[in-house]
Structure 1
Amino acid sequence: MTEAIRQRLNDSPVARWTVLLIVATAMMMGYFVNDVMSPLETLLEMPREAGGLGWTPSDYGFFSGSSGLINVFLLMLFFSGLILDKMGIRFTGILACSLMVLGTLLKLYGVMVDFGSDMVSFFGFELPMSVAVASLGFAIFGVGYEMTGITVSKAMVRWFTGHELALAMGIQLAMARLGTAAALSISAPIARHFTLSMPLLVSLAFLIIGLLAFLVFCVMDRKLDSSVSSQTTNSEEFHWSDIRVTLRNPGFWLITLFCVLFYSAVSPFLKFSTKLMVIKYGVDTDIAGFFSSIAPFGTIMMTPIFGLINDRYGKGVTLVITGALMLTCVHFGFSLPLHNSTIAIALMVILSIGYSLAPAALWPCVPKIIPLKCLGTAYSMIFFIQNFGRAIIPMFVGKANETDSSYTTSMLIFGFTALGAALIAVAMFYVNRQKGYGLQLPNIKS
C-alpha cells in the first residue's frame, strides 16, 4: 500500500510539474534579485542631490563582488551542501529563502538611508556606510542564493529521477535565466521612473513570493516523504564518511574539472563580449548588447529541448563533448582576423547552442554518479571549486587585453580553456565505460 501511494505521488505528471513550477519560481526570484543592481551602476554613482548615492566605481566593484565573500572566504558554500544533506531539502530551502529575504532587507536599508559621511574600513577598503551595509546584505543574500541553487537541484533529482530529469533541470535553468533577463531589462526603467530603492522593494516582494512558494512545496514534499519513510534505511541516510566516498569518485572530479573549464570559458567571456563586438567587429554601442544577449536568451529556448532529447535518447556524455567542442570552435573563430559582424552573430548563435547543449546533459549526470543522500555536498563542492576558475580566467583575460587590444590573445585563452573542457569530457566518456555510471543511458525509465 505504501508503495502504491509513493507511485501515485511520484509518478503523477501533475504532481511532478507542479513541484517544478514551485521550486523553479523560488529560484527565478533569486536570480532576478541577484542581478537587479547590475543596470544601476550609473545611477548609484550619481550625487545624492541628483538621486544617486555618490558611489565610486571602486565602491560599486566591491559591492558587486560582495555576494561571494561569505560563500568563498568563509566556506559557506561548502557548508551549505552539508546542511542540505544532513538537514534535508525542506529545512535548507526555507533557510535559504529566508536568508535571501534578510539580505535584501539589509541591502534595501543601505540604499534607502542617508548615512552622511560615515565611512567603514574593511581590509584596506575605505567604504561609505551605505556601501558597507548594502554589501553585507548582498553577502548574506549570496549565501541564500547559492544554497537555494543546490537545494532546488536536489529537489529536482528527488522528484524526477526515472522521469524527465534533464527536461525538468533545463526548464528550471531557463526560468532562472529568464529572471536574470527580466532584472537586466526592467531594473533601470523602474529606478528612473520611481526611486533608486524601488527595484529593491520589487525584489523583496518577489523573494517573499518565492518563500511562500517554497512553503507550498514543503507540504507536497512532506507527503512524498511520509509515503516512503517506512522504506528508508540507514544506507540512505547521510553520514560524514560519505564525503570521503564522494572525493574518491573519479566521475565526480571529472565533472568538477569540466565545470571549472567550461563555465570559465563562457561566463567571463560574456562579460567581455559587448566590448569585443564594438572594437573588433565595429558594432554600434547601442546594439552591441544585443549581440552579447544572443547566448543567454538562446539558452532559455534550447536548454529544455536538449534536456528532453537527453531524457528520451540518452548519450549524455556525447552531448557534453559536442557542446564543449562547439564552444572551442567559437572562441578560436573569434580569435581569427575576421571583422564581419555577420560572422560575430553566427558565432554567438553557435555559442548559444553549445552553452545549452552541455549543461542540459551535464547536470543530470551528477545524480547518476553521486547517491541522493550526499548530492547536496557534491553540488556545493562543484560550485565552490568552479568559482575559483571563474575568478582566475578574467584576470588573465584582462591582462591580455591590455597588451593585445585586438582580442586575439584573450580569445585564444578562452579557446584553449574550452578545449580543455572537451578533453575532460572525452575522459569522462571512457571512465563511464569502465565504471558503468550509465551516463549514456536515457533518464526516462521504460
Structure 2
Amino acid sequence: MVGMFFATSLAMLGNYYIYDSIGPVAELLSRQLGWSDTQIGTLNAIYSLPNIVMVLIGGVLVDRYSARSVTLFTSVLCLLGAIVTALGSEFPVMVAGRLLFGLGAETMVVAVTVAFAQWFVGRYFALMLALNITAVRFGSYLADRSPTFASDLYAQGWQSPLWLAAAFGVLSVVGALAYWIIDRHEAARGTLAIAPPSDRIDWSNLLRFRVEYWLIVGICVTFYAVIFPFRSTFSIKYFQEAHGLTLEAASTLNSHVFLAAMFLTPVFGLLLDRVQRHGLLLTVGALGLPVSFLLLASNGTENLTAATVLLGASYSLVPAVLWPAVARYCSAEQLGTAYGLMTALQQAGVFVANIVAGYVNDRGGASVANPAGYDAMLWFFGLLSLAAFVFAILLSRQRSKTAAGGLARAEI
C-alpha cells in the first residue's frame, strides 16, 4: 500500500507542477516574447477546454482499460505536452503543447481517484485521498518556488523553466510506471478492494437534482473560476508589475496559498466530519475570497500578505467541504452524473475566466508602466468571488428551510 501511495502521489505531483509552471514564466513571456495577457491566459485556458468533455468519459476509459493503464498512458501524454510547450517559442506551438497536456491531465486525476478507491475503500480511504491531495498541492507549491531553487534556469529566460517542468513530467511517468507494476502484481493476487462505479453521466438524473446541488455547482464554478486563473496564471505577473516584487519574491508569496492548503485541507475535512455544517463552512470559506480581492484592489503593498493568507485559507476550506457536500444532496445512483457534470462546468468556467482576465488586462494596458491596468481584472475576480459567497449563503438558507420543513412534517 505504501508503494502504491507514493507512486501515484509522484505521478500527481508531476502533473500539477506542469500545470502551474506557466505562472512563474508569465512575465518573461510578456517581456521576452512580447505576448499579450490574452495569449498567456489562453495557455491555461486551453488546458480546460478538452476537459469539459474528458471528465465525462474518463471513468468509461478507466472501466475499459483499467486505472493503472490509463494513469500510465495519460502521464506519457502529459509529458509529451510539457515537451511540446518547452520546445515552441511560437504561440500556436505552445498552445498545442498545453492542449496535449490538458487531454491527459484531468483523465489522470479520474484514474488515480479510482485507483485509490480500488486500493483503500474500507482501508482509510478518506485519509489516504486527503494525503494524496497534499502531494498534489506540494507539486503546485514547488512550481511557485522554482524561481528560488532554480534561479539559474530563470536567468536564462522563459524556456529553461519549462524544460524543468518537462523533467517533472518524467518523474510523473516514473511514478505511473511504478504504480502500473505494483497494481498489476497485486491485482493478480486478488488483494485489491472492489472498485466503485465510474463517474458516468446519466442525463435523466438532471431533472432529479435538488436545489442544493445546483447551488453547490454555482459555488464550484465561480470559486474555481477565480482561484485557478488568478493564482495559477496571472498572480505572479501581477505581483511583479503592479507591486514591484522580484520574480523570486512574487512566486514565494504566491506559493503560500498552496502551502496553507497542503496542511489545512485535511484539517478542515476532519472538521466537516465532526460538525456536519456544510452550508456554514462554505459560507465562511467563500467569504475570504472577495475580501482578499478587496484588499488587493486597495493597491497597498502592505495588504499583499493578508490577501494571500485569506486566499490560502479559502482554498483550504472550500474544496475540503465542497466535494464531500455533493454526496449529501445526491443519491448514490446520481453521484457519477453529479460529480462529472459539476467538474465539466468547473472546467468551462476556468476556461472562460482565463480568457476574460487576459482580455481585460490587455484592454486596460496592464503592465509595469501602468499598474492601474490590472484594476479591471481584480474587480472581475472580485465579483466572481462575491457570486460564490452569495451561492454559499443561498445554500445555507436552503438547508435551513429544508430542515425546518422536515421538522414541521415530523410535528404533524
User: Normalised by the size of structure 1, how large is the TM-score?
Assistant: 0.69
Return the offset for 1:245.
0.8
The separation in 2 between residues aligned to 1:22 and 1:304, in whole angstroms, is 20
2:260 counterpart of 1:260: no
Q: Which residue of 81, 86, 98 corresponds with 2:56? A: 81
Return the offset for 1:331.
1.8
Q: 1:306, 1:357 within 8 Å by CA — same for their partners in 2?
A: yes
Partner of 2:384: 417
Q: 1:317, 1:428 within 8 Å by CA — same for their partners in 2?
A: yes
Q: Which of 317-326 and 171-180 deviates more?
A: 171-180
Q: 1:103, 1:136 within 8 Å by CA — same for their partners in 2?
A: no
Identity among equivalent positions (%) equals 22
Q: Which of 386-395 and 102-111 deviates more?
A: 102-111
The separation in 1 between residues aligned to 2:126 and 2:378, in whole angstroms, is 31
Once the two structures are superposed, residues 398-423 of structure 1 have per-residue CA deviations (whole angstroms, 9 ceiling, x without a partner) of 26744981755543332332121122
The separation in 2 between residues aligned to 1:348 and 1:109, in whole angstroms, is 32
The separation in 2 between residues aligned to 1:222 and 1:245, in whole angstroms, is 36
Once the two structures are superposed, residues 318-368 of structure 1 have per-residue CA deviations (whole angstroms, 9 ceiling, x without a partner) of 2211110122222223333x6251x32122212211111111111222344
Pairwise mapping of residues 17-416 of structure 1 onto structure 2 (< 5 A)? 20-36=5-21, 39=24, 56-58=33-35, 65=42, 69=46, 72=49, 77-85=52-60, 87-88=62-63, 91-105=66-80, 108=83, 135-156=95-116, 167-184=127-144, 185=146, 189=152, 196=160, 199=164, 202-215=167-180, 216-217=182-183, 242-246=202-206, 248-250=208-210, 251-270=212-231, 271-277=233-239, 283=245, 287-336=249-298, 339-341=300-302, 343-370=303-330, 375=335, 377-394=337-354, 395=356, 397-398=360-361, 401-402=364-365, 405=372, 407-416=374-383
Q: 1:70, 1:143 within 8 Å by CA — same for their partners in 2?
A: yes
The separation in 2 between residues aligned to 1:175 and 1:339, in whole angstroms, is 33
Structure 2 SS opposite 1:108: helix
Q: 1:174, 1:300 within 8 Å by CA — same for their partners in 2?
A: yes
Return the offset for 1:381.
2.8
Q: Larger Cα Rg: Structure 1 or Structure 2?
A: 1
Structure 2 SS opposite 1:266: helix
Which letter does structure 2 place at the counterpart of 1:253? W
The separation in 1 between residues aligned to 2:334 and 2:187, in whole angstroms, is 18
Supply the RMSD in Å over aligned alpha carbons. 4.4
The separation in 2 between residues aligned to 1:284 and 1:66, in whole angstroms, is 23
Structure 1 SS opposite 2:66: helix
Once the two structures are superposed, residues 210-267 of structure 1 have per-residue CA deviations (whole angstroms, 9 ceiling, x without a partner) of 22243234655787787659xx9xxx68876x33215641344222221111122222
Q: Which of 171-180 and 182-191 deviates more?
A: 182-191
Q: Which of 353-362 and 157-166 deviates more?
A: 157-166
Which letter does structure 1 place at the counterpart of 2:83? L
Distance 1:29-1:374 versus aligned 2 partners, 3 A rule: farther
Q: 1:85, 1:374 within 8 Å by CA — same for their partners in 2?
A: no
User: Normalised by the size of structure 2, how large is the TM-score?
Assistant: 0.73
The separation in 2 between residues aligned to 1:36 and 1:256, in whole angstroms, is 28
Distance 1:163-1:355 versus aligned 2 partners, 3 A rule: farther
Q: 1:254, 1:425 within 8 Å by CA — same for their partners in 2?
A: yes
Structure 1 SS opposite 2:214: helix
Q: Which residue of 383, 394, 397 corresponds with 1:427? A: 394
The separation in 2 between residues aligned to 1:375 and 1:189, in whole angstroms, is 47
The separation in 2 between residues aligned to 1:160 and 1:296, in whole angstroms, is 25
Q: 2:258, 2:312 within 8 Å by CA — same for their partners in 1?
A: yes
Which letter does structure 1 place at the counterpart of 2:9? A
Once the two structures are superposed, residues 62-101 of structure 1 have per-residue CA deviations (whole angstroms, 9 ceiling, x without a partner) of 69846765862xx554244334057539725522431331
Return the offset for 1:370.
4.5
The separation in 1 between residues aligned to 2:345 and 2:129, in whole angstroms, is 21
How many correspondences in the alignment? 388
Q: 2:47, 2:101 within 8 Å by CA — same for their partners in 1?
A: no
Q: Which has the higher contact order (CA 8 A, sep 6+)?
A: 2
Return the offset for 1:102.
3.7
Q: 2:12, 2:172 within 8 Å by CA — same for their partners in 1?
A: no
The separation in 2 between residues aligned to 1:104 and 1:192, in whole angstroms, is 24
Distance 1:67-1:417 versus aligned 2 partners, 3 A rule: closer
Structure 1 SS opposite 2:316: helix
Distance 1:434-1:81 versus aligned 2 partners, 3 A rule: farther
Return the offset for 1:145.
0.4
Partner of 1:11: none
The separation in 2 between residues aligned to 1:181 and 1:315, in whole angstroms, is 29
The separation in 2 between residues aligned to 1:39 and 1:365, in whole angstroms, is 33
Q: Specify every segment of 5 or more residues in structure 2 that has no aligned partner in the other structure, as ranges.
A: 404-412
